Structure 1
């Protein structure tokens, strides 16, 4: 099996990468002196999730990608161990991670496959590890930041500097819901990941609609505590889309009902769901990418 030289991978603009390093994470976290060590540790902790997903993508989804052993040797030359696949994706070398993702994209991997097969499951697993106290908030934030970066690189939205200020999210509960824990938890992770978040805890549809009428939001996130409020959520989403300044706003929903039955997402008129807060951050990035891509297309017509 022939080895793929490092030069066979795409050249990466290091200046853009530096900007990416600071873009998807709160500055107080990025400035920590233990970031690189934490990233290496995190890659090892989550390797059991990342490696099987990457191997499946390589074998079943992108069969024309370079042999996996050659990828490891080219991007992680200090070792040929298969566990270095996790380090390529989540470790301290962003350039290697970006090179690998771009190779997969250029060989035909779709954004939806990347998200469904790798990014969302990895983010979900990070949240589960945090729930079990296997890693802390900083670790999860670093991992989620990397996943956002890779998604932005894949979609080329990292090149849209003028849209940076529009990484804004509206978080709210379904009108009638009194359970704010889910909203505040997602808000915490979004803020740590560099998002500007407006949280509407009033619980009224009028206040939610007023927020999207008066301000521009790339994404709206709504939580649902019980099936008894599905009709209320559906009506709220309909009004939200009708009155939103951003005609391409992405809407994500969360709660036990959607975890048990993801098909409810389309029933209520939303675009996506996420099983936990870290996965919600990556889902928001996906919806942001779709939103600004659609908005740019409209502006260039």
Structure 2
């Protein structure tokens, strides 16, 4: 959502030129010698047009909302409030909250990795502590996934290395935590990969697919280590039946971020801590494969 004001003394919220930082609120006053310093008029209009309506809305909702002084950072209380809202608010209200954070200086990557991913983790923790129901968590995660798609076209991915390669992504059969997988798939798509995502696939489904279609990369996400043992023979079987004899396999998720030695244990090639790192790791993986060839 863009806000452009051309009147004398009004804030110009147009996006800065490329390389100058995305979604950063800038103040420009025509004829002013110090363009980087907001005038009293600018500040008054910001308070009147942005901050007061938010405070009034928060008051009407029966809660107080404190805007932190460090405007480019998402505070822990904001994160918790957003996670709670994800379970009860509609998508439009959540989009408005994200847009507000971006106008405050939070980048799209900051939204993904400092808001949406931690919010999903919080929902899982609350569920494990019986602080919310399975239905609440399901609704919340669905809303967070919708937000990933809503802002996907604003993501800027460097060193993608896709070049039209095809990647198959799946949850480890039995696992149910798909939010991280959705993030990974979206980042690979933005990096130029052709992606196929099968979060509900069985081992038999995956075998049939890699026999029917050629994939350069297979990626698994696993949050719960209880599914670790079945993953090892599954990866071996997929390599054996794959139409691509040189197919690469990456694994990710909490089960591997806490124990990276498990990558070798299950027979995978690489792991990554998040979607950004996964894209870069895959690019390096195929660059080394090309050099060896």
Larger RCO (alpha carbons 8 Å, 6+ apart): 1
TM-score (norm 1): 0.48
Higher normalized helix content (fraction of residues): 1
Higher Rg = 2
